[in-house]
Amino acid sequence: MRSEGCALPALLGGLVGLPVLVVAVLNWPIVVAVLLTVLLVAGIVAVTLGALVLTWLYARSVHAVLFAGGHPEEPSPGPGEDPAHRSYHGGPAWSDLRAVIGGTWRVSAPWTLLLAPHLALYAGAVAVHQCAAWVCVGALRAADTALLVVRRVRMVCPHCFRRLGYPAYACECGRCHTAIRPGRRGIWRRVCLCAARMPTLLLFGTADLHTVCPYCTHTLEHRPGEAPELVLPLFGGAGAGKTRLVNGLYRALEQGAEPVPDAYADTVGEGARQWLGEARTVLRPSTRTVPTLPGHPVRGLTVRVGAGGSTLLLQLYDAAGERFTRASTVGELGYLGQATTFLLVVDPLGIDAVWRPLGPAERGKLAPVRSRTRDPELAYTQVLEEVERRVGAAVRRARLGVVVTRGDLLRDTSIAPEGPGQDALVYWAEHTLGLGNLLRSARAHFGRVRVFHTCAVSRPNGEVDPSVSHLLRWVLEGRPPAFGALVEAPELLDGAV
Amino acid sequence: MSAPQHRAQRRGLGALVLAGSVVFTAALLTALLFQGWQALAALWDWAVATNRGALPEHL
Ligand SMILES: Nc1nc2c(ncn2[C@@H]2O[C@H](COP(=O)(O)OP(=O)(O)OP(=O)(O)O)[C@@H](O)[C@H]2O)c(=O)[nH]1
Ligand SMILES: [Mg+2]
Ligand SMILES: [Zn+2]
Ligand SMILES: [Zn+2]
């Protein structure tokens, strides 16, 4: 004990302090408890206040972004992106989260780290929302794709001949949507930058929109995606009879659909209307078709055929014969890589082996309708090479119809076939027309080969010759039977060609 | 360019997030108070017991 102090206050202090000190020392655990209690309570109050303030700041930021419209501006679509607004799951959800974190950080800086659980909760909610949205996107796209596969829909652009993964669509404002399917810009619907709503899938009715080719941006008037397409290229030398045959095929369909309720065969688009609209006139025996211009761009002529509740989009390709003589011009015909049925059109009169044995009288009569093409094999070889170049071994799955035209002119001549049966026609093609090599090569390369002898001239009563319907029935093989029924030709069974 | 506001989705998400935050803070503070109370109780139990043992026998 120290008692060296002599000043009065110190003495007084010592007198009062001493007993307190003694009591304190004797009851030290109580003293420790009091001190700790004060510390603890102060700490709890501080933490509570801190937590409340931080939560308040965070809530204010959330409110500002999500309720008060303080969310970040949506970035406008970059080049190559579709002109549609983003869906909430396609970006804004994450940028909102970033904005909330940024807003909180600005007012509470490093203390924001203490809000980690809140932010984790927010991020978790966004993640769940994202998962749900993208699962929907995937499921819808899968369902739509499955439907296309089940309906055997393959879409080919009749202008640039490319196969479309999916059509593109133009909004009324003129903006073109090339990737309309569900994604970051919409699940069921999307909103064009002009605020127009558009469906996102064929399933939801995109076919009602203005459809365009995503590659060449040509308008596609045939509502691609709704029905299977049948790409049918005709090829052969100049003057072989392709244009007349195309008209015959269309007329045969139109005529077959006339008596059947609910059946129809309509041309689609301006090109097809121009080329096929006059089919009835073109097929008259007195009409001479105009040679197709080799410089004219080739376009698929689309015919929409409906029967028995099914629809088929027939794409007929009729290029000028001159195009099939050189590899460079054949190479431009991209549709050759999209077809599985081909028609080689042959003018029998052009072939020297046919022409030579004819008598002068027959020659005189037939000379005006004889084409300049002497060797059908030239076009055949070029096209076969091109098809092989484009599809490789898949050419084995394709069919080739060798169509010998001018049946009406050959009837009753010395070079007419013996009968309408396939065996007789093949024998005739090999021995009279000299197409043995061609047919052998065709059988070696194509999956199926068949010879036809057509007469693309209407009968006196205006009807299409049954030989054209017969060819058409073969073309439509493997399609719903209602289509084949349209071109049933009972006369043929009697043996008439 | 009038971008869609995604009002419903923003409000729904906001309500969810705010409710979650409030619940979380409430739970945190409740736990804190409870733990603090427990700690105080233990502290005083210890202090009283220790105090009794620390006093000299004859007092
Ligand atoms: N009588 C008759 N004439 C036919 C037949 N097929 C074609 N022709 C005639 O043969 C000529 C040429 O026919 P097109 O159909 O223009 O021949 P193409 O193959 O289109 O010819 P390019 O366009 O020049 O390649 C025309 O005068 C046709 O009238 C047929 O089956 N019977
Ligand atoms: Mg032609
Ligand atoms: Zn195209
Ligand atoms: Zn628009």
Return the HEC string of A362-392: HHHHHHHHCCCCCCHHHHHHHHHHHHHHHHH
Name the residue type at position A292.
Answer: T
**How close is the Cα of A194 to the center of ligand 4, in Å?**
4
Same domain? For A481 and A407 the reply is yes
Task: Look up residue A302 and give its DSSP letter.
Answer: E
* CB of A244 shorter than 6 A to ligand 1: yes
pLDDT given at position B57? 55
Task: Look up residue A295 and give its DSSP letter.
Answer: T
**Measured distance CA(A309)–CA(A262) in Å, rounded:** 8
**How close is the Cα of A334 to the center of ligand 3, in Å?**
11
Name the residue type at position A74.
Answer: E
For residue A429, the Cα-to-chain-centroid distance in whole angstroms is 41
Same domain? For A109 and A184 the reply is yes
User: Does the beta-carbon distance from B11 to A73 stay under 8 Å?
Assistant: no
Instruction: Report the candidate in A271, A285, A352 with the shortest Cα–Cα distance to residue A315.
Output: A271
Model confidence over A398-420: pLDDT tens digits? 999 999 999 999 988 888 998 88
Same domain? For A258 and A405 the reply is yes
**Measured distance CA(A267)–CA(A257) in Å, rounded:** 13
Ligand nearest to the CA of A174: 4
Pick the last residue of a domain from A209, A225, A241.
Answer: A225
Contact between A23 and A31 (Cβ < 8 Å):
no
Does the residue A39 lie in any domain?
no
User: Does the beta-carbon distance from B13 to A125 stay under 8 Å?
Assistant: yes
pLDDT over 50 (residue A493): no
* pTM of the complete model beyond 0.90: no
In b/e form, how buried is each residue of A119-136, taking b as 16+ CB within 10 angstroms?
A: bebbeebbeebeeebbee
Same domain? For A332 and A416 the reply is yes
Does the residue A7 lie in any domain?
no
* CB of A243 shorter than 6 A to ligand 1: yes
Ligand nearest to the CA of A289: 1
- The answer to which of A25-29, A61-65, A342-346, B46-50 has the lowest mean pLDDT is A25-29
The whole domain housing A235 covers 229-486
Does the residue A130 lie in any domain?
yes
pLDDT given at position A495? 41
Query: Does B21 reach chain A within 8 Å, measured CB to CB?
Result: yes
User: Does the beta-carbon distance from B16 to A85 stay under 8 Å?
Assistant: no
- Give the helix, strand, coil percentages of chain B, each rounded to 5: 80, 0, 20
Same domain? For A180 and A257 the reply is no
Query: Does B20 reach chain A within 8 Å, measured CB to CB?
Result: yes
Pick the last residue of a domain from A173, A204, A225.
Answer: A225
> Probe ligand 1: pick from A289, A290, A467, max atoms within 8 Å of CB?
A289
Same domain? For A116 and A250 the reply is no
**Measured distance CA(A74)–CA(A183) in Å, rounded:** 16
Nearest-neighbour CA in chain B from A64: distance (Å): 10
Count of positions (residues) in chain A: 497
Pick the last residue of a domain from A225, A249, A268.
Answer: A225
Model confidence over A79-94: pLDDT tens digits? 889 999 999 999 999 9
**How close is the Cα of A482 to the center of ligand 2, in Å?**
30
Same domain? For A191 and A239 the reply is no
Contact between A117 and A54 (Cβ < 8 Å):
no
Does the residue A25 lie in any domain?
no
Does the residue A6 lie in any domain?
no
**Measured distance CA(A457)–CA(A463) in Å, rounded:** 9
The total domain count for chain A is 2
Q: Angle formed by the axes of helices A28-62 and A116-150, to 10°?
A: 40
Same domain? For A313 and A395 the reply is yes
* CB of A214 shorter than 6 A to ligand 1: no
CA count, 13 A, side-chain hemisphere, A10? 6
> Which chain B residue shows the shortest CA-CA distance from A52?
B25
Residue A319's DSSP bridge partners are: none
Question: Between A44, A59, A92, which is nearest B18 by CB?
Answer: A59
Chain position carrying tokens 């028995």: A308
Model confidence over A186-221: pLDDT tens digits? 999 999 999 999 999 998 999 999 999 999 999 999
Query: Does A172 reach chain B within 8 Å, measured CB to CB?
Result: no
Same domain? For A142 and A285 the reply is no
User: Does the beta-carbon distance from A125 to B3 stay under 8 Å?
Assistant: no
**ipTM for the predicted complex:** 0.88
Does the residue A71 lie in any domain?
no
> Which chain B residue shows the shortest CA-CA distance from A87?
B6
Query: Does A63 reach chain B within 8 Å, measured CB to CB?
Result: yes
CATH number of the domain bearing residue A472? 3.40.50.300
* CB of A291 shorter than 6 A to ligand 1: yes
pLDDT given at position A496? 41
User: Does the beta-carbon distance from B6 to A88 stay under 8 Å?
Assistant: yes
Same domain? For A211 and A249 the reply is no
Q: Which residues surround ligand 3, an ion (CB under 5 A)?
A: A 157, 159-160, 213, 215-216
Does the residue A22 lie in any domain?
no
Name the residue type at position A482.
Answer: A
Q: How confident is the model at residue B54 (pLDDT cuts 50, 70, 90)?
A: low
Report the nearest-CA residue for atom 10 of ligand 1.
Answer: A241
Chain position carrying tokens 């803070």: B25
pLDDT given at position A109? 85
Same domain? For A258 and A371 the reply is yes
For residue A160, the Cα-to-chain-centroid distance in whole angstroms is 14
- DSSP-derived pairing of the beta strands A341-346 and A310-318: unpaired
CB atoms within 10 A of CB A432: 20
- The answer to which of A47-51, A74-78, A182-186, A195-199 has the lowest mean pLDDT is A74-78
Contact between A171 and A196 (Cβ < 8 Å):
yes
Scanning A98-117 for CB atoms below 8 A from B yields: 117
Chain position carrying tokens 């050189």: A326
Name the residue type at position A392.
Answer: G
> What is the DSSP track for A407-469?
HHHHTTSTTS-S-SSHHHHHHHHHHTS--HHHHHHHHHHSSEEEEEE---S--TTSPPPHHHH
Does the residue A17 lie in any domain?
no
Name the residue type at position A210.
Answer: H
Model confidence over A286-339: pLDDT tens digits? 988 999 999 889 999 999 999 999 999 999 999 999 999 999 999 999 999 999
pLDDT given at position A6? 62
Same domain? For A202 and A245 the reply is no
User: Does the beta-carbon distance from A118 to B21 stay under 8 Å?
Assistant: yes
